[in-house]
Amino acid sequence: MTEEAIIDIIFNFWTGLAILVLVILKNGLRFVPQNRAHVVERFGKYYTTLTAGINFLVPFIDKVAYDQTLKEMAVDVPSQSAITKDNISLEVDGILYTKVIDPYKASYGIENFTFAVAQLAQTTMRSEIGKLELDRTFEERLTLNANIVSAINEAAAPWGIQVLRYEIKDIKPPKTVLEAMERQMKAEREKRAAILESEGLRDAAINNAEGEKRSKVLAAEADRAQAILRAEGEALAITTVAEAKARALKMVGDAAASMEGQKAVQFDLATRAIQAKEAIARQSSVVLMDAHSTSTAHTVAEAMAMLAAINQSGAMNLQPNPSEENR
């Protein structure tokens, strides 16, 4: 064997070995991306689950049978017909958010878990809507979504799938029901408008009545205060006049108790008697009196006699002035 043949054999050997190593490395090394899981089978049987990073497999023995994503997935639930508790047919569609939590169960538990979850969501939604009346299906969407998620999670537990949430996208009642609902809403709005208008009129009437009542109360209080002030003024005036008259009478009485006062009283009585006769003469066309009664001296004498009678009766207690007693 020549030297060139030996070199060719050695070169072919190392070349084949290199190729074999490259094939082994290509089939043995497995780079798993983030949020993914590779299910490995050995001789057709489940062996292990590869997580993110560099992993080693036995070439020609181990095989990646399933590649599962661990990200959250949105599954569209097609529109379907559902009948409510009060026998109203509805068209309902939604969207389902799921996530693989066990790659082994998701790979071997069911053939197509996405299709299975969508079908399960449809059947569960029909069942839950059948428990509610039409009005409550619009009012209790959150409760309806929660009940659907709970029911799907309970059924999908063997599949390694978790339903995170379910959202109803649209609920479409029949056209006749929509028209009836629109009429009902219109009637409700008109009713509320009428109630608000009547309440406004009632409040306005109450406010007017309260204003009139308050005005009358204030007017009555003003009249009462005015009457009280007027009465107090009249009482004060009467009291003042009475006090003035009392002081005047007291002054006259004090003056009449002296000798000079007696003379003044006698003179005043004579003057008043003369004035009285003059007044009688002016008011009467004919006055019959004797000559003796009409004389001034007789009139004065009568006044003096009257005053003497008063003094004798004790009506006036004469108390002479100290200056006269000393005389």
Report pLDDT digits (tens) over 190-213: 888 889 888 888 888 898 888 888
Residue 37 confidence (pLDDT): 92
pLDDT band at 318 (very low <50, low <70, confident <90, very high): very low
Report pLDDT digits (tens) over 140-194: 888 888 888 998 888 888 888 898 999 888 888 878 777 777 788 888 888 888 8
Of 187 and 319, the one with more pLDDT: 187
Q: How many angstroms separate the first and last alpha carbons of the chain?
A: 202
Domain(s) of CATH 3.30.479.30: residues in the chain? 73-173
0.85 exceeded by the pTM?
Answer: no
Q: Span 28-39, mean pLDDT?
A: 86
> Among 120-124, 288-292, 303-307, 318-322, whose mean pLDDT is lowest?
318-322
Residue 77 and residue 166: Cα distance in Å, rounded? Answer: 10
User: Distances from the Cα of 259 to the Cαs of 30, 101, 248, 290, in angstroms?
Assistant: 155, 139, 19, 34
Phi, psi torsion values for 141, nearest 5 degrees:
-65, -40
Residue 8 in contact with residue 21, Cβ under 8 Å? no
Radius of gyration, alpha carbons of the chain: 65
Residue 307 and residue 303: Cα distance in Å, rounded? Answer: 6
CATH number of 73-173: 3.30.479.30
pLDDT band at 135 (very low <50, low <70, confident <90, very high): confident
Mean pLDDT rounded to a whole number for the chain: 78
Dihedral angle sign, alpha carbons of residues 103, 104, 109, 110: positive
Report pLDDT digits (tens) over 270-290: 677 677 766 766 665 554 455
Helix, strand or coil, per DSSP, at residue 317:
coil
Residue 86 confidence (pLDDT): 83
Q: Span 113-120, mean pLDDT?
A: 88
Instruction: List the structure tokens of 120.
Output: 């399960």
Q: Is the pLDDT of residue 294 over 60?
A: no
What residues have CB less than 8 Å from 20, skipping those under 6 apart? none
